[in-house]
């Protein structure tokens, strides 16, 4: 064999070995290669997912807490909130974890017995020390905001109001929290904080950004209005479309990079309890002797009222008149239409210095958007099953009120025996008053009645002013929009896995194609 033939022989032999010239060997090599590639592919996918989840796993939450006491006219409630500390300036992260209703009346009723306030607050504040971890006690802020009941007490006697607040301060300072003070908030603050709470919980302060938050700007969401009803005052707050003609009713907020021109007004003495006292003080002047035939109470209902109690607060002073009797008796007649006419007598609509008013000469811009009605609005309407079942027809709501008011008192007591008589006896008045206030006071009509949503809680947090109050005092809502990552955690992991799969697939397919071409070239050789 010549040297050239010898070189050619070994060259062909080498090619045969390297490229699996024999068909059985080729099949064996291909099968094992595919198994190895498949196993490697699965391991790579598992590794990518594990790395992605581990790398992006949220850090353990450094939870913070806050306590707000709502010292209302008829009762006091304690609300405990929590939020992740690393998300303090993000929206929609604060949540209510506990609500405790203090047993007894509002703190204004303790003006002559301030020494009892410490015991009054003990039960609920004791629960707060149990709910909040001991390691967080000293850094947990506590705020007390007093509303219309204390506003009225301050009108009667500033000295007595200060004594009540001093007693509250002394009591709350004795707990292991970071007490931040007790104050009487204004009606405008109460309305504004309620509006902030509702829209914060509904995420209305967020802006709808472009695709995957990658496009800057975005469309602003329309906020909802807030309707609050307590025992001594009622508030209406919303963003109108037109100008706010009365500067006293205008508030400007800059929240998350957007300006809001907000209308708000608080009607002191027009909560449901004080409105009833006003109506009685007005009607007793027109009665015969010591008996008042009252259409706002059920037929057969009777109750005695002291004149001294009737004129004991600033809300009824304008109706005060010397009477020949010291006590009068209410006798219910149960007539919705007559009750409403009697209620409208406490709304003064004779004068309006603006283009449009609610009542008592107070400017009210045209209603705009949807509204959330909470507090007593909700609890009264819940009694009439007008919250769980969506009834948008104002006519149907009125029919329900008329039917209920006309029922004999004995039948009502038998049907609702578990409800305290004081509250049960006033539902006819309270329901009629709410409809009168919304229709004739705030100008809701049969057309926009469906825009009212009677609400107790949003995302398991009570609708009301307390959350907005705390958010403001703790600077939890920034003026400018906070930085947010362009992609959410879930989208980031999804895209990482997707692109990794595409990358691995391309590599595998490329290798197979290259391998097949190599074998084809080998066979040709």
The whole-angstrom separation of Cα 260 and Cα 223 is: 9
Closest CA to 460 of 94, 175, 204, 152: 94
State both tokens at 393. Answer: 């027809």
State both tokens at 118. Answer: 């410490």
Computed over its alpha carbons, how large is the radius of gyration of the chain? 35
State both tokens at 411. Answer: 């039948």
- Cβ-count burial 113-146 (b if 16+ within 10 Å, e if not): ebeebeebbeebbeebeeebeeeeeeebbbbbbb
Coil/strand/helix, residue 51: helix
State both tokens at 264. Answer: 């708000």
The whole-angstrom separation of Cα 231 and Cα 152 is: 12
CB-based contact 477:256 (threshold 8 Å): yes
190 catalytic? Reply is yes
To which residue do tokens 């007559």 refer? 338
State both tokens at 271. Answer: 């909560």
Torsion sign, CA atoms 167, 172, 175, 180 = negative
The whole-angstrom separation of Cα 149 and Cα 268 is: 9
What pairs with residue 250 in β-bridges? 263
State both tokens at 389. Answer: 């079942």
The whole-angstrom separation of Cα 362 and Cα 352 is: 7
82, 189, 190, 402: the catalytic one is 190
State both tokens at 334. Answer: 């149960």
CB-based contact 433:346 (threshold 8 Å): no
Q: CB under 8 Å to 230, separation ≥6 — which residues?
A: 72, 73, 74, 147, 148, 271, 272, 375, 376
Closest CA to 70 of 248, 189, 202: 189
The whole-angstrom separation of Cα 63 and Cα 94 is: 10
Torsion sign, CA atoms 445, 449, 451, 453 = positive
Catalytic residues: 190
């Amino acid at each position: 064999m010549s040297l050239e033939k010898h070189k050619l022989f070994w060259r062909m032999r080498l090619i045969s070995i390297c490229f699996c010239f024999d068909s059985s060997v080729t099949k064996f090599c291909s099968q094992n290669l595919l198994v190895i590639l498949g196993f490697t592919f699965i391991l790579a996918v598992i590794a990518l997912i594990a790395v992605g989840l581990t790398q992006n796993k949220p850090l353990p939450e450094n939870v913070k807490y806050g306590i707000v006491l709502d010292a209302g006219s008829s009762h006091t409630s304690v609300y405990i909130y929590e939020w992740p500390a690393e998300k303090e300036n993000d929206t929609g992260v604060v949540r209510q974890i506990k609500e405790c209703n203090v047993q007894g009346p509002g703190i204004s009723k303790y003006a002559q017995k301030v020494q009892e306030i410490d015991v009054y607050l003990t039960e609920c504040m004791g629960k707060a020390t149990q709910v909040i971890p001991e390691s967080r006690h000293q850094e947990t802020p506590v705020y007390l905001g007093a509303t219309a009941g204390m506003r009225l007490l301050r009108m009667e006697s500033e000295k007595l109001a200060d004594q009540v607040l001093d007693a509250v301060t002394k009591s709350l300072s004795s707990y292991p929290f970071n007490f931040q003070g007790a104050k009487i908030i204004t009606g405008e603050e109460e309305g504004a904080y309620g509006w902030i709470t509702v829209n914060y919980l509904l995420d209305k302060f967020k802006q709808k950004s472009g695709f995957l938050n990658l496009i800057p700007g975005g469309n602003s969401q329309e906020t909802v209005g807030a309707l609050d009803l307590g025992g001594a005052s009622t508030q209406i707050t919303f963003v109108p479309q037109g100008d706010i003609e009365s500067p006293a009713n205008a508030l400007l907020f800059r929240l998350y990079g957007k300006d809001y021109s907000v209308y708000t007004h608080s009607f002191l003495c027009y909560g449901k309890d004080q409105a009833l006292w006003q109506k009685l003080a007005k009607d007793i002047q027109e009665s015969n002797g010591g008996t008042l035939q009252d259409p706002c109470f059920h037929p057969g209902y009777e109750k005695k009222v002291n004149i001294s109690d009737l004129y004991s607060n600033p809300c009824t002073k304008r109706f005060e008149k010397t009477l020949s009797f010291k006590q009068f008796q209410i006798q219910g007649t149960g007539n919705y239409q007559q009750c409403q006419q009697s209620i409208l007598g406490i709304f003064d609509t004779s004068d309006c210095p603006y283009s449009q008013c609610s009542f008592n000469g107070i400017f009210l811009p045209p209603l705009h958007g949807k509204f959330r009605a909470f507090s007593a609005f909700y609890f009264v309407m819940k009694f009439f099953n007008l919250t769980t079942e969506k009834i948008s027809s104002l006519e149907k709501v009125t029919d329900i009120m008329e039917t209920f008011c006309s029922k004999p008192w004995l039948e009502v007591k038998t049907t609702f025996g578990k409800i305290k008589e004081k509250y049960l006896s006033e539902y006819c008045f309270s329901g009629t008053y709410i409809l009168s206030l919304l229709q004739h006071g705030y100008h809701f009509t049969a057309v926009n009645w469906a825009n009212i949503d009677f609400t107790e809680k949003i995302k398991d947090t009570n609708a009301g002013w307390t959350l907005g109050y705390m958010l403001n005092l703790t600077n939890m809502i920034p003026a400018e929009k906070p930085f947010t990552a362009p992609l959410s955690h879930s989208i980031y992991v999804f895209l990482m896995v997707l692109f990794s799969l595409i990358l691995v697939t391309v590599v595998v397919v490329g290798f197979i194609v290259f391998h097949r071409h190599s074998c084809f070239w080998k066979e040709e050789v």
